Structure 1
């Protein structure tokens, strides 16, 4: 739709019916700018004829007002799009943060599980090493629990009466006592058992030989 500015100087005011025509023209132009309709270029749309200064002035004001409305709507749409984009970005950031937290929690859980496995493995190795010192012949291959191993060690040293009907705390105490003795310094253990000798094995044998010879040589003096 086009307009024609063929002024008629002998006419005053607005042409009859032109206001509605201008309003329709402006409305159609606004729809075109808003992409609510497509431009028709086949010349089928009638031209808008502005015949007086009043027609032209009204047309200009109507176009300016419509252009301002279109611009405001476009600005609002752009602002809405930006706000939506920012909201989408914030939502995705929140989702990424949640995923990262889940990953960190899973990694921490795996690390804790690995640490617990290592701790249990080290504890079992230490227990078996202690058992080997207390009762080297005890077969622990079929015992899955540490408590069962300690119970069998105490049983092997003190018999069934020492473990039957006894609490786990009591078994642990007896086992720790055996472990302390088994892992103590050999010299200190011998001294604590009252088996210490001031002489080594060779010196003790020589002393025993000398004592026997001395007794034989002086046996007649005892009668």
Structure 2
């Protein structure tokens, strides 16, 4: 994990080659605040990271301060592949403990970086790899923390306008032209924060906070805005789903009501059965036949065809066929003799003679034979 620190610079001088040489504090023990996103905890606004002396002044850590490339601002990991493009100087080899600080010599060799320094860009920020253990605890001097560093290895030292402490630090007792004097120095190498505060408008109220606090508030505001958008999306989706479900239920209710309206009562069934029986009886009066399984229109058509032939109904509408059926039904009802004769078709002409006629015919035939 790459972390950054902020330190002060002192004992500055220029060489005959134009380089800027200084002796600087580049690390310290104690609490430093990081955005959660900087240390792999994007859901946490601020993480208070404790750097214990045993990590800051460990032998491996102290050796790693020597011969580190210097950069103008941070550019991520600095290595052999990008050193030529990024380096503006380097640290020296005389790494010393200075109370709660680590002090190293450094040299700025790039003219543009030196001009930035002379214009007031004087804060230093270490880029380092660190093992961070996330745990709540309390430092020996009573400060609470959310994480602590177990081991450190320096990667580069950057010249920056403002690092983690806030405002730029003094160089000895002199400041760059145009830079206002600092009211008070933090004995730990921190800053007077009065000029480092930012004004923010939060829920209609103007507040002042540090750069890190402002970043945390802006991040939380964005998360709140995103959450509100998500809630509206979910609410709209739920309302649309409920509207669709209500429409489906209304359709089902309409179908049920329609089916109820179509359901026949016992009296309705009896009436329809009687009407069909009467229709079939009338059709049989017109032309006797099998009308089973036919609809009312088919029964009328079959009776008319049986009586008058196919030509009588060819290309005719159901209303016409129904009218012809009614006429034929009236005719059949007004001609009882014809109806009686139709009923007698196919029956024996004298069913009551009990074979008498046949007997007499046989006698007559026998007599004719004898006379010959």
| TM-score in terms of structure 2 length | 0.31
Bigger proportion of residues as helix: 1
Bigger proportion of residues as strand: 2
| TM-score in terms of structure 1 length | 0.47
